[in-house]
């Protein structure tokens, strides 16, 4: 690697090899920024057909994993040039002071061909910053109408022009509002520059509550973190690295969710022995490998691991030739039973497991509860009573679908949903079953019931004995 210093321009040329990638897939290129610099332009080039090199930037405040407080942006492989100024930056990058000192370009060696990959990175120090681009005013969509009491619906996973999609936060939120969604998490890859646009909106656009998020996109699996906090480092290579990031998220009270744990998800390769909160059991269209994610989740549930199932469309909106935003936000839709419509209430509902998932914003919605005496235990909650209790299932907009109740021991019952506002009760012994959860499947006469497509999915109600009962059982040697 050779550098050619010049006062205003610096060019790095080098070759990245598969060995480099194995040693450390994140290459740092240091460069000096003198006092008085108002903006930094970066352009890079390489053989894009056979390789994928990602781009990011750290300022002199620090670039060390995991608490790199100098994070200034990430564009993955979505852009070949970016600019960072005091008042404006390319989406994905954070505008702000151009501190004098040593900055680092980071090249992520995502895909490097066997023969290696030649790269050229040109850095330009600019005496004048880009002028701020006033955000275009996006007209508001009408607020959505009534919904089943206590339930709000949204999408926990989508991208904007702050990573590898198109459309501003406002434009994407408007699309969600037009579908009647109440909340939308903006989870761009490895960056938080989208949070600036959320702030400008006052946290709400077209009646849609915007949850700040980040998709921690490592080369060995992806995870979403929602809620306000710090930027979280994505340069995780080992289980201990991702554990450190999970702990940092928890330190800020933010749920950590493993994304698309299925082949080509891309898959999650760090293992599940981590203190994660949620798992994206339903990612995009059900047919795209989600039966695998369901099995991963079921396996965790049977081992007593109470991960909350969530859905995410992972929408990457694009503008078509007519300038219309094409997207699949809300497929699937995640429903949360909450106390109110605010980011905090939605996150609290998710943490509590008060969550159902449906194929699209129109539904269907399935809700379950176990009732014993005067007490009601909703999905995500634990019932401490052994013996017979009443299981109550409610389904909205699900006429003609097949309700499948699944417990810790396997399939518990099947019933056809009769009517669009349907309620059914049946006896259940939770101590025997361990937990109960519900699925709504679309009957396809020609195919076996085990392969019917999913229409909706609930989280389980658990059996969890009182501590006194547990200790009594231990004393009896059970």
Q: By CB under 5 A, name the binding residues for Zn ion.
A: 215, 222, 259, 314
Q: At its nearest, how many Å lie between Zn ion and the CB of residue 262?
A: 11
34's CB contacts (< 8 A; 6+ apart) are 7, 100, 125
d(CA 407, CA 435): 5
Copy the structure tokens of residue 40: 């930094």
Q: At its nearest, how many Å lie between Zn ion and the CB of residue 438?
A: 27
d(CA 93, CA 86): 11
Q: At its nearest, how many Å lie between Zn ion and the CB of residue 158?
A: 8
Q: At its nearest, how many Å lie between Zn ion and the CB of residue 259?
A: 5
User: In this complex, which beta carbon is closest to Zn ion, that of residue 135 or of residue 296?
Assistant: 296
CA torsion sign for 205, 208, 211, 216 is: negative
d(CA 118, CA 96): 32
The answer to whether 285 and 377 have CB atoms below 8 angstroms apart is no
User: In this complex, which beta carbon is closest to Zn ion, that of residue 219 or of residue 337?
Assistant: 219
User: In this complex, which beta carbon is closest to Zn ion, that of residue 197 or of residue 215?
Assistant: 215
Helix, strand, coil tally for the chain in percent (to 5): 15, 40, 45
Q: At its nearest, how many Å lie between Zn ion and the CB of residue 217?
A: 6
Q: At its nearest, how many Å lie between Zn ion and the CB of residue 419?
A: 37
Q: Which residues share a beta bridge with 23?
A: none
Copy the structure tokens of residue 210: 């915007």
Q: At its nearest, how many Å lie between Zn ion and the CB of residue 78?
A: 12
Q: At its nearest, how many Å lie between Zn ion and the CB of residue 159?
A: 6
d(CA 252, CA 203): 19
Q: At its nearest, how many Å lie between Zn ion and the CB of residue 197?
A: 18
Cis check for the bond before 332: say yes or no (omega within 30 of 0): yes
Copy the structure tokens of residue 224: 């979403």
Secondary structure of residue 112 in the 3-state scheme? coil
Q: Which residues share a beta bridge with 309?
A: 279
User: In this complex, which beta carbon is closest to Zn ion, that of residue 105 or of residue 279?
Assistant: 279
User: In this complex, which beta carbon is closest to Zn ion, that of residue 54 or of residue 314?
Assistant: 314
**Among 140, 173, 139, which residue's Cα sits nearest to residue 159?**
173
The answer to whether 71 and 241 have CB atoms below 8 angstroms apart is no
d(CA 44, CA 54): 10
Copy the structure tokens of residue 225: 């973190």
From the CB of residue 61, how many other CB atoms can be counted at a distance below 10 Å?
Answer: 14
d(CA 18, CA 348): 44
Q: How many residues does this entry show for the chain?
A: 478
Q: At its nearest, how many Å lie between Zn ion and the CB of residue 332?
A: 14
User: In this complex, which beta carbon is closest to Zn ion, that of residue 281 or of residue 455?
Assistant: 281
User: In this complex, which beta carbon is closest to Zn ion, that of residue 259 or of residue 356?
Assistant: 259
Q: At its nearest, how many Å lie between Zn ion and the CB of residue 76?
A: 11
User: In this complex, which beta carbon is closest to Zn ion, that of residue 223 or of residue 438?
Assistant: 223
User: In this complex, which beta carbon is closest to Zn ion, that of residue 204 or of residue 222?
Assistant: 222
Q: At its nearest, how many Å lie between Zn ion and the CB of residue 208?
A: 18
Residue nearest to Zn ion (CB): 222
User: In this complex, which beta carbon is closest to Zn ion, that of residue 126 or of residue 267?
Assistant: 267
User: In this complex, which beta carbon is closest to Zn ion, that of residue 276 or of residue 452?
Assistant: 276
Secondary structure of residue 139 in the 3-state scheme? coil
If you search the block for the tokens 């996006």, which residue do you land on? 138
User: In this complex, which beta carbon is closest to Zn ion, that of residue 357 or of residue 389?
Assistant: 357
Q: Which residues share a beta bridge with 256?
A: 225
Q: Which residues share a beta bridge with 325?
A: 319
Looking at residue 230, the DSSP 8-state letter turns out to be: -
């Amino acid at each position: 690697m050779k550098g050619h210093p010049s006062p205003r321009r610096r060019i790095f040329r080098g070759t990245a090899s598969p060995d480099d990638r194995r040693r450390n897939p994140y290459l740092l290129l240091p460069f000096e920024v003198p006092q008085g610099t108002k903006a930094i332009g970066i352009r890079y080039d390489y053989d894009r057909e056979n390789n994928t090199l990602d781009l990011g930037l750290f300022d002199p405040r620090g670039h060390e994993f995991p608490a790199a407080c100098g994070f200034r942006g990430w564009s993955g492989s979505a852009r070949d040039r970016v600019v960072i100024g005091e008042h404006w930056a390319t989406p994905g990058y954070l505008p702000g002071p151009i501190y004098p000192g040593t900055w680092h370009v980071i090249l992520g060696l995502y895909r490097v061909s066997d023969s290696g990959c030649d790269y050229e990175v040109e850095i330009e120090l600019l005496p004048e910053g880009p002028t701020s681009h006033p955000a275009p005013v996006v007209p508001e969509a009408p607020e959505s109408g009534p919904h089943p009491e206590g339930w709000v619906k949204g999408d926990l996973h989508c991208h904007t022009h702050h990573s590898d999609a198109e459309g501003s936060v406002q434009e994407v939120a408007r699309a969600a509002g037009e579908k009647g969604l109440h909340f939308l998490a903006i989870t761009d890859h490895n960056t938080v520059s989208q949070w600036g646009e959320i702030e400008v909106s006052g946290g709400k656009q077209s009646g849609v509550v915007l949850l700040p998020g980040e998709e921690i996109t490592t080369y060995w699996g992806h995870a979403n973190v929602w809620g306000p906090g710090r930027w979280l480092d994505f340069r995780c290579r080992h289980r201990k690295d991702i554990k450190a990031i999970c702990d940092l998220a928890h330190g800020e009270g933010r749920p950590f969710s493993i994304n698309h744990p299925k082949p080509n998800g891309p898959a999650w390769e760090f293992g599940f022995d981590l203190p994660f909160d949620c798992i994206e059991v339903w990612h995009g269209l059900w047919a795209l490998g989600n039966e695998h994610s369901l099995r991963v989740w079921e396996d965790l549930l049977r081992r007593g691991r109470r991960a909350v199932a969530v859905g995410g469309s992972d929408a990457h909106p694009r503008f078509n030739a007519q300038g219309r935003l094409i997207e699949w936000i809300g497929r699937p839709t995640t429903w949360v039973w909450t106390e109110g419509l605010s980011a905090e209430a939605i996150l609290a509902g998710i943490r509590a497991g008060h969550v159902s998932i449906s194929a699209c914003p129109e539904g269907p919605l399935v809700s379950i509860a176990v009732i014993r005496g005067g007490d009601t235990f909703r999905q995500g909650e634990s019932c401490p009573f052994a013996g017979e209790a009443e299981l109550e299932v409610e389904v909205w907009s699900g006429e003609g679908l097949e309700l499948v109740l699944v417990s810790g021991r396997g399939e518990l019952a099947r019933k056809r949903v009769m009517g669009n506002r349907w309620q059914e009760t049946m006896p259940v012994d939770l101590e025997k079953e361990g937990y109960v959860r519900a699925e709504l499947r679309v009957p396809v006469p020609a195919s076996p019931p085990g392969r019917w497509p999913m229409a909706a999915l609930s989280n389980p109600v658990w059996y969890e004995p009182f501590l006194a009962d547990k200790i009594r059982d231990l004393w009896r040697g059970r």
